[in-house]
């Protein structure tokens, strides 16, 4: 029975979803649905502990149907997918606990689609076949189109249809790339493809890479392809936003790592990816600095942190890829925490505009966990963001311009979150002074925030827990380099750099508060981008990248 | 859509559509066709009835069709687990592909009919 | 010159042009459907071997067309059906809320 664990991991959310939907058709009690969902989200932790024992003996492979290697659909678990499945189960479990209080009406349908999305996420990280990734990705993304419409009605429908159109184009580009790969090599298995790609001539390799870049760029929200993300993640309900921003956007990056390590033999691929990542990081922060809606600000920060991850992976050295993968894990934790904090603020005050919040000290748990999340995302020392950000920044020291852009991005990050801290928590608007009746959020909403904040601190103090066991072996199987990185807790030079960044961030905040007219004009300008123009820009970017690659090869 | 010509032609065609659909489902594993294709043809036959004769009377069957869909997926996964229990891998070939075809056909049929009935419900409510 | 691969690419480009330049949402969904069908045509005709038989094992048949793309394309047609159905449902809801089918005029 133990060797069937990968498929049991995949089937458990599906069976739980079916049982929940039958019960919601037959009877009206909600507690049985919650208990079944709870059990089915706890069981993966047991399976993962079994899998961790087996993983020390090498890569786990499981073929469906018992067929042999070139014809089979296989499920493959190596250290990279194990790390991502672990963080998926943690984040979805806590977001489910949060949602028991937050989504009261039509909860049967909500749990059904949530469990289907969880099954799709497990399937993406488990599959060893490039077409299987497409199937599970469609499963995830269809259930996320539906889950987004559970938020407030009018805006979420518009966001969902925009996401649907752009996401379908991404999937079709991905499929076309897979079709070209199959027409050239005749293989669909990721391991065997990675040995055979260098046999394709370089013109076709450029077309295949451009198509995959388009697909991955749309899914992972790199800057010319990012226009769906802000609306979709801000109008969704809060636990759904946390899972979407934490995990679903990262599946694009995961597919990118798998495809990128397929061994394309093109020149100067690293520089193009790093430039795209740096533009993404910077553009995301600029977008965040000019908004006043709390969930849109956090959604723009998702774009900029994805830029960090793409820069780290594009550097293609041991420190870069280790930093990138560790930042995926960290970002899932603190972005989930930020969305849950924003959700509890919106639950209490009822508005999303931060100039009308003025909570003050009436919500202490939210305040403390929010401050921990902000310090983690800015990269201050004892928290987990600092480890991954320092790794990424040390891997681009050969390219000083990109290093400077990353430093400016960190300054902007600090400024933007301090803005939320100032307006939402500290400054009390004048008309609300007599209505200070805000209470703390209910306990089942506080518990996930507290646990995620403790995880932030734990992964910052003991980075070796994830790094040595999971991420460095994954890196050494992708990149041939030396894999002895020694991470100590406090390095004086890095601590100095972080506190300089925090200082400049607060100065930038002062500048922003005094100049809000120009900022409003900039926001009007950006909101004029319609769907047609953004799609046209995506195609133009892909054509330019392919022309540049063609000229360099 | 209730002119006399349309009603008469539909009444003649519908049994042949059902027969053809069942033929494609059952011969799916050795000739072109299979579960999904046959299920769509069956659903098209039923939707032809709804278009010609009106679909208000069938609105009360939507929960029953939903239960068919859910039980279909459960049965599908059960056949997969049957592969694990009998000693081989998940979904190994135990001579049960024709059962899978029939399950998928019923599921696709139920899904498409529910889709049409729900969209019709939105139209009738106007 | 006119074989399945080229026509598949041409359909892909026509569908892409349709998605970019249409304002009416239903036309955008139709263009997505054309995109999908172009890819199906490309995939299936990439497995064609000249002068061979359909991939069904009968006695006396040696060389058959590649059956793998056909199975993959069945999956893809089902998934595209689901996405089209979902898109049309959301468009019906949007029309009920806003009264128009143009994404720019919905406020």
Task: Domain C4-105: give its CATH architecture.
Answer: Orthogonal Bundle (1.10)
In a 3-state reduction of DSSP, which class is residue C24? strand
The DSSP call for residue A61 is: E
H or E segment and range at residue A77: strand A73-77
Q: Which of C54, C74, C85 sits opposite B36 (nearest CB)?
A: C74
| Helices (H), ranges, A186-201 | 190-196
For B36, name the nearest residue in chain C, comparing CA atoms only: C78
Rounded CA-CA distance C5/C89 in Å is 33
- Please classify residue A23 by burial: count the beta carbons closer than 10 Å to its beta carbon, then call 0-12 exposed, 13-18 middle and 19+ buried: middle
CB A214 within 8 A of CB A538: yes
The C-alpha torsion from A195 through A201 and A207 to A211, rounded to 10°, is -10
C65-92: per-residue pLDDT in tens? Answer: 888 888 889 999 999 999 999 999 999 9
Q: CB–CB of B73 and A22 under 8 A?
A: no
Separation between Cα atoms, residue C6 and residue C36, nearest integer Å: 15
Query: Is residue C80 classed as helix, strand or coil in its secondary structure?
Result: helix
Q: Comparing C-alpha atoms, which of A434, A457, A437 is closest to residue A334? A: A457
Residue C37 CA to residue C85 CA, distance in Å, equals 16
Q: Does B31 touch chain C (CB under 8 A)?
A: yes
Mean pLDDT by 10 residues, chain A (553 residues): 84 92 84 88 89 82 78 84 90 90 79 93 90 92 92 85 93 91 84 78 86 91 89 90 90 85 75 90 88 89 92 84 87 90 85 74 82 86 81 85 90 86 73 61 82 84 74 70 57 75 78 73 77 89 90 82
**C19 interfaces chain A, CB cutoff of 8 Å:** yes
Give residues 48 to 107 of C whose Cβ lies within 8 Å of A.
68-69, 72, 75-76, 79, 82-83, 86-87, 90-91, 93-94, 97-98, 103-104, 106
What's the residue count for chain C?
107
Cβ–Cβ below 8 Å for C28 and A165: yes
Chain B residues whose beta carbon lies within 8 Å of the beta carbon of residue C58: none
Q: Mean pLDDT across chain C, nearest whole number?
A: 88
Query: Quick check: helix, strand or coil at residue C58?
Result: coil
Tokens 């028991």 belong to A100
Q: Is A3 on the interface with B (CB under 8 A)?
A: no
Determine contact, residues A505/A516, Cβ cutoff 8 Å.
no
- CA of A146: which chain C residue's CA is closest? C86
Q: Determine contact: B123 vs chain C, CB below 8 A.
A: no
Cβ-nearest to C21 among A131, A182, A532:
A532
Which residues in A lie closer than 8 A to residue B88 (C-beta atoms)? 66
- Residue A15 C-alpha, separation from nearest chain C C-alpha, in angstroms: 21
Which chain B residues have a beta carbon less than 8 Å from that of C56? 30-32
A428 touches chain B (CB under 8 A): no
Q: CA–CA separation, B3 vs B8, rounded Å?
A: 9
Stretch B79-104: mean pLDDT, rounded? 82
pLDDT of residue B32: 81
**Residue A485: predicted pLDDT:** 60
Question: Can you tell me the distance from the alpha carbon of A52 to that of A50, in angstroms, rounded to the nearest whole number?
Answer: 5
Sequence-ordered list of residues with C-beta below 8 angstroms from that of B95, at least 6 positions apart, any chain: none
**C-alpha separations of B3 from A395, B51, B52 in Å:** 75, 12, 9
CA distance A460 to A494: 14
The rounded percent of chain C whose pLDDT value lies above 70 is: 99
| Distance to chain B for C93, nearest Cα, Å | 9
Contact C78 B119 (CB under 8 A): no
How many cross-chain Cβ pairs, B to C, lie less than 8 Å apart?
12
pLDDT category of residue B28 using cuts at 50, 70 and 90: confident
pLDDT at A504: 79
- C43-55: per-residue pLDDT in tens? 888 888 887 877 7
**What is residue C71's predicted lDDT score, i.e. its pLDDT?**
86
Partners of chain A (3+ Cβ pairs below 8 A): B, C
pLDDT given at position B111: 92
Task: State the first-to-last Cα distance of chain C, in angstroms, to the nearest integer.
Answer: 48
Q: Subunits touching C (CB < 8 Å, at least 3 pairs)?
A: A, B
Q: Count the Cβ atoms, other than its own, within 10 Å of residue A507.
A: 11
DSSP A249-307: HHHHHHHHHHHHTTT---TTHHHHHHHHHHHHHHHHHHHHHT--BHHHHHHHHHHHHHH
d(CA A18, CA A80): 30
Contacting residues of B for A15, CB less than 8 Å apart: 74, 77
d(CA A529, CA A436): 39
A134: burial class by Cβ within 10 Å (0-12, 13-18, 19+)?
buried
- Percentage of the residues of chain B whose pLDDT score is greater than 70: 98
Q: Taking a C-beta distance cutoff of 8 angstroms, is the pair A293, A354 a contact?
A: yes
Asked whether the beta carbons of residue A64 and residue B91 sit closer than 8 angstroms, the reply is: yes
Asked if C39 contacts A215 with a C-beta cutoff of 8 angstroms, the reply is: no
Any residues with CB less than 8 A from the CB of A400 and at least 6 apart, and which? none
**Phi then psi for A65, rounded to 5 degrees?**
90, -5
pLDDT at residue B18 is higher than 60 = yes
CB proximity A60 to B under 8 Å = no
The residue segments making up the domain with residue B50 are 4-124
């Amino acid at each position: 029975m133990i060797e069937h664990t990968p498929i049991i991991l995949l089937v458990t959310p599906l069976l739980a979803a079916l049982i929940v939907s039958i019960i919601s058709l037959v009877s009206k009690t909600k507690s049985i649905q919650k208990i079944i969902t709870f059990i089915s989200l706890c069981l993966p932790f047991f399976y993962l502990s079994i899998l961790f024992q087996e993983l020390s003996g090498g890569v786990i492979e499981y073929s469906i149907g018992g067929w042999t290697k070139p014809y089979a659909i296989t499920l493959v678990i190596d250290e990279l997918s194990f790390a991502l499945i672990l963080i998926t189960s943690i984040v979805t479990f806590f977001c489910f606990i949060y949602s028991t209080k937050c989504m009261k009406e039509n909860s049967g349908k909500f749990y059904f689609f949530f469990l289907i999305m969880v099954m799709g996420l497990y399937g993406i990280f488990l599959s060893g076949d490039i077409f299987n990734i497409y199937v599970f990705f469609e499963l995830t993304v269809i259930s996320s189109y539906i889950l987004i419409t559970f938020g407030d009605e009018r805006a979420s429908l518009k966001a969902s249809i925009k996401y649907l159109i752009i996401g379908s184009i991404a999937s079709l580009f991905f499929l076309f790339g897979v079709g070209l790969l199959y027409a050239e090599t005749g293989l669909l298995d990721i391991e065997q493809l990675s040995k055979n790609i260098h046999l394709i001539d370089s013109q076709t390799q450029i077309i295949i890479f451009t198509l995959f870049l388009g697909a991955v760029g749309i899914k992972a929200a790199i800057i010319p392809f990012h226009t769906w993300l802000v609306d979709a993640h801000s109008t969704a309900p809060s636990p759904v936003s946390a899972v979407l921003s934490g995990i679903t956007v990262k599946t694009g990056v995961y597919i990118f790592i798998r495809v990128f390590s397929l061994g394309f033999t093109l020149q100067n691929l690293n520089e193009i990816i790093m430039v795209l990542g740096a533009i993404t990081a910077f553009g995301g922060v600029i977008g965040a600095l000019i908004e006043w809606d709390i969930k849109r600000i956090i959604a723009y920060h998702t774009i900029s942190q994805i830029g960090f991850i793409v820069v780290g992976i594009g550097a293609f050295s041991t420190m870069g890829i280790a930093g990138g993968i560790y930042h995926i894990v960290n970002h899932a934790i603190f972005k989930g925490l930020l969305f849950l904090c924003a959700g509890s603020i919106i639950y209490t005050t009822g508005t999303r505009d931060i100039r009308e919040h003025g909570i003050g000290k009436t919500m202490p748990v939210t305040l403390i966990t929010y401050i921990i999340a902000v310090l983690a995302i800015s990269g201050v020392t004892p928290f987990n963001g600092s480890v991954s950000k320092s790794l990424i920044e040390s891997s681009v020291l050969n390219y000083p311009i990109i290093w400077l852009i990353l430093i400016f991005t960190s300054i902007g990050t600090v400024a933007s979150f301090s803005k939320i801290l100032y307006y939402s928590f500290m400054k009390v608007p004048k008309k609300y002074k007599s209505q200070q009746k805000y209470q703390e959020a209910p306990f089942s909403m506080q518990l996930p925030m507290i646990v995620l904040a403790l995880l932030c601190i734990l992964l910052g103090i003991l980075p070796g827990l994830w790094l040595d066991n999971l991420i460095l072996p994954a890196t050494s199987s992708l990149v041939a380099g030396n894999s002895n990185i020694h991470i100590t807790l406090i390095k004086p030079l890095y601590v100095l750099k972080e506190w300089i960044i925090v200082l400049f961030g607060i100065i930038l905040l002062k500048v922003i508060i005094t100049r809000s007219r120009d900022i409003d004009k900039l926001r009007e300008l950006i909101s004029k981008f319609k769907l047609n123009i953004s799609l046209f820009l995506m195609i133009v970017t892909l054509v330019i990248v392919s022309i540049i690659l063609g000229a360099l090869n | 859509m209730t002119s006399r010509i349309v009603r008469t032609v539909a009444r003649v065609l519908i049994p042949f559509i059902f027969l053809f659909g069942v033929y494609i489902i059952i011969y799916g594993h050795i000739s072109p066709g299979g579960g999904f294709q046959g299920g769509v043809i069956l659903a098209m036959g039923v939707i032809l009835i709804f278009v010609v004769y009106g679909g208000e009377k069938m609105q009360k069957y939507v929960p029953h069709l939903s239960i068919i869909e859910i039980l279909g997926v459960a049965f599908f996964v059960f056949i997969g687990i049957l592969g694990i229990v009998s000693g081989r891998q998940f979904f190994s070939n135990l001579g049960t592909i024709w059962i899978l075809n029939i399950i998928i056909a019923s599921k696709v049929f139920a899904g498409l009919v529910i889709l049409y009935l729900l969209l019709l419900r939105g139209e009738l409510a106007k | 010159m006119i074989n399945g691969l080229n026509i598949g690419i041409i359909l892909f480009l026509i569908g892409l042009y349709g998605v970019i330049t249409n304002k009416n949402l239903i036309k955008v969904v139709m263009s997505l459907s054309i995109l999908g069908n172009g890819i199906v045509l490309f995939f299936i005709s990439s497995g064609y071997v000249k002068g061979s038989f359909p991939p069904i094992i009968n006695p006396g048949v040696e060389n058959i067309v590649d059956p793998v793309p056909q199975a993959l394309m069945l999956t893809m047609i089902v998934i595209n059906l689901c996405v089209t159905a979902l898109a049309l449902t959301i468009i019906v809801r949007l029309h009920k809320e806003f009264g128009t089918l143009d994404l720019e005029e919905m406020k």
